[in-house]
Amino acid sequence: AQSVTQLDSQVPVFEEAPVELRCNYSSSVSVYLFWYVQYPNQGLQLLLKYLSGSTLVKGINGFEAEFNKSQTSFHLRKPSVHISDTAEYFCAVEVTGFQKLVFGTGTRLLVSP
């Protein structure tokens, strides 16, 4: 069965600094990869996704992620964060053809002035 590991439960960072949120997955078959963001008291919304093709994926709000098959990773990055990026970020994997997302435990990004 596939699984997703987000090693960092919380990442504090100063405004305008770069950030990387780590995500590793395990699966013996091909997968689709997603990053979702959850703002306080809201549902989740899609940041970006990797289905195939270029391993560097760009998403909304200046975020990007790189798929690394050999390291089974899909880390999320932003070169300069803003206060409004404070939220919880979830990495998710979907085994191709199974229509079910498996989520990681989430990483809380805390951006301070």
Distance CA(24)–CA(68), nearest Å, equals: 9
Q: Is 83 in the site for another protein (CB under 8 A)?
A: no
Q: Is 51 in the site for another protein (CB under 8 A)?
A: yes
Size of the site for another protein (CB under 8 A): 25
Please select the residue that binds another protein; options are 23, 44, 81, 109, rule is CB under 8 A.
44
DSSP secondary structure code for residue 41 in this structure: T
Residue range at the interface with another protein (CB under 8 A); choices 4-12, 58-66, 68-76, 79-87: 4-12
25: part of which helix (H) or strand (E)? strand 24-26
Q: Is 13 in the site for another protein (CB under 8 A)?
A: no
- List Cβ<8 Å contacts ≥24 apart for 63-67: 63/35, 65/23, 65/33, 65/35, 67/33
Q: Is 22 in the site for another protein (CB under 8 A)?
A: no
34: part of which helix (H) or strand (E)? strand 31-38
Q: Write out the residues near another protein by the rule CB under 8 A.
A: 4, 6, 9, 32, 41-46, 49, 51, 90, 94, 96-106
